[in-house]
């Protein structure tokens, strides 16, 4: 009889914790177990890429410990515990913690597994020394290693790469960014907006190497010798790799839960397997895998109601993304990838760029604002179409 069993949430990132908080608003008594591979500290992941300029240490980024969260949520939180298998017929999860293995039975299971960094294919004896900063523990490692370092190379000129470049240059690092596309933030912005971000960061001291990739990383002295495909040699103290993330789908895949890019769910956040749900970076909700905070907040609200007995579909309204390149802020609501249409600038000068993306028949599909033009966000957001129809 699963009805008496707990709700189990796997993952204590923003998605897992936000869901638990929302659930407790509707249901104070159902037993709740949360399982996480990490220490279960509650923190806001977006703050990782502004921590240096704000002089915040990894410890200061922790808002609550797992123990405090357990108390607030009236939940049992199992830390340093990895779910290695799910038996969806028996409604059990297998948990590996150190050398011990245990099993728990669930009534409902929620996967909030997040995403993991993609590793750049790079040669050389220091290839394994690039830092991938995707959670607080990664940040702790980089923070320790960055002490005394003066220069850094960031692989990837997308959202995360530009944010780290912006952060490090403002705390005195010499920063290089390598990006294969001919513009930074190329998946999010039209060329003039990208150019404004690039110019502003360059003026602050960031060196951009566009249209090329990293060929090799090799130890040299106390630092790393970087060779780019275009022949450029750069010597830096540390390397950060930020070429993108991919949803964690392996666990679900191994257990017969259908996945595409993310774990497939409908608008109720239900997977195709009974009593198993997913949200956050790991989920592909009605065709949308969006690795941002706003979609997971909307998902957590809806799923909490569903789990508390009122089936509630999630709706993704327009959700503009703020890129925290604080030297040149960006707000963008890009059209879905591969959409036919064109960018039209309403402003493009040395202080700000504003543009709308429209389809061939004039339908507004997205917008982009950079620099001072970010002040127009209300006007542009009001007109932006919802992500879900």
Cα angle 89, 22, 46 (rounded to 5 degrees) comes to 100
The reply on whether position 296 binds ligand FAD by CB under 6 A is yes
Among 69, 113, 300, 302, binds ligand FAD (CB under 6 A): 113
Cβ distance to ligand FAD smaller for residue 22 or 135? 135
Cβ at position 389, least distance to ligand FAD in Å: 22
Q: Distance between CA atoms of 2 and 107, rounded to whole angstroms?
A: 5
Query: What b/e readout covers 247-286, taking b as 16+ CB neighbours within 10 angstroms?
Result: bbbebbeebebebeebbbbebbbbbebebbbbbbbbbbbb
DSSP 146-195: HTT--EEEEE--SHHHHHHHHHHHHTT-EEEEEESSSSTTTTTS-HHHHH
Nearer to ligand FAD, 217 or 283 (CB): 283
Residue 9 binds ligand FAD (CB under 6 A): no
Structure tokens at 131: 């830092």
Residue 324 near ligand FAD by CB under 6 A: yes
Q: Which two tokens stand for residue 374?
A: 């970010």
What is the C-alpha to C-alpha distance for residues 372 and 349, in angstroms, rounded to an integer? 10
Of 13, 10, 1, 80, residue with least CA distance to 277: 10
State in angstroms the smallest separation of the CB of 11 from ligand FAD: 3
Report the candidate in 138, 120, 132, 146 with the shortest Cα–Cα distance to residue 226: 120
Residue 56 touches ligand FAD, criterion: CB under 6 A: no
From 1-9, 180-188, 286-294, 355-363, span contacting ligand FAD (CB under 6 A): 286-294
Sole binder of ligand FAD in the list 26, 45, 215, 220 (CB under 6 A): 45
Give yes or no for residue 16 binding ligand FAD (CB under 6 A). Answer: yes
Residue 251 beta carbon to ligand FAD: minimum distance, rounded to whole angstroms? 5
**Min separation Cβ 290 and ligand FAD, Å:** 8
State yes or no: residue 83 binds ligand FAD (CB under 6 A).
yes
- Interacting residues with ligand FAD (CB under 6 A): 10-16, 35-38, 45-46, 48-49, 82-83, 112-114, 134-135, 160, 163, 248, 251, 280-281, 291-294, 296, 322, 324
């Amino acid at each position: 009889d699963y009805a008496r069993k707990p709700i189990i949430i796997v993952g204590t990132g923003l998605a897992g914790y936000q869901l638990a908080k929302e659930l407790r608003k509707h249901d104070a008594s159902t037993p709740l177990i949360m399982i996480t591979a990490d220490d279960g500290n509650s923190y806001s992941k977006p703050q990782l890429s502004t921590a240096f300029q704000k002089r915040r240490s990894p410890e200061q980024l922790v808002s609550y410990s797992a123990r405090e969260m357990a108390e607030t949520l009236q939940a049992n939180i199992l830390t340093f515990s990895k779910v290695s298998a799910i038996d969806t017929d028996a409604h059990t999860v297998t948990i590996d913690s150190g050398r011990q293995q245990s099993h728990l039975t669930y009534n409902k299971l929620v996967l909030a597994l997040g995403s993991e960094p993609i590793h750049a294919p790079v040669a050389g004896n220091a290839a394994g020394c690039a830092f991938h900063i995707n959670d607080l523990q990664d940040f702790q490692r980089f923070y320790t290693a960055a002490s005394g370092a003066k220069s850094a190379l960031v692989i990837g000129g997308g959202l995360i790469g530009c944010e780290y470049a912006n952060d490090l240059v403002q705390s005195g690092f010499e920063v290089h960014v390598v990006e294969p596309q001919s513009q930074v933030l190329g998946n999010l912005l039209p060329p003039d907006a990208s150019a404004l971000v690039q110019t502003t960061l360059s003026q602050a001291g960031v060196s951009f190497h566009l249209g090329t990739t990293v060929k090799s990383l090799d130890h040299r002295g106390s630092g790393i010798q970087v060779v780019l495909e275009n022949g450029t040699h750069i010597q830096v103290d540390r390397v950060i790799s930020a070429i993108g993330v991919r949803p964690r789908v392996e666990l679900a895949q191994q257990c017969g839960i259908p996945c595409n890019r993310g774990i497939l769910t409908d608008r109720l956040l239900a997977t195709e397997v009974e009593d198993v749900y997913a949200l956050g970076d790991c989920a592909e909700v009605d065709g949308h895998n969006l690795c941002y905070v706003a979609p997971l907040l909307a998902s957590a609200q809806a799923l909490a109601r569903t789990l508390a007995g009122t089936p509630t579909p999630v709706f993704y309204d327009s959700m503009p993304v703020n890129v925290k390149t604080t030297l040149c802020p960006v707000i963008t609501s890009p059209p879905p990838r591969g959409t036919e249409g064109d960018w039209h600038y309403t402003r493009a000068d040395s202080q700000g760029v504003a543009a709308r993306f429209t389809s061939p028949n004039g339908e507004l599909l997205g917008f982009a604002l950079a620099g001072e033009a970010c002040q127009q966000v209300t006007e542009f957001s009001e007109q932006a179409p919802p992500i879900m129809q």
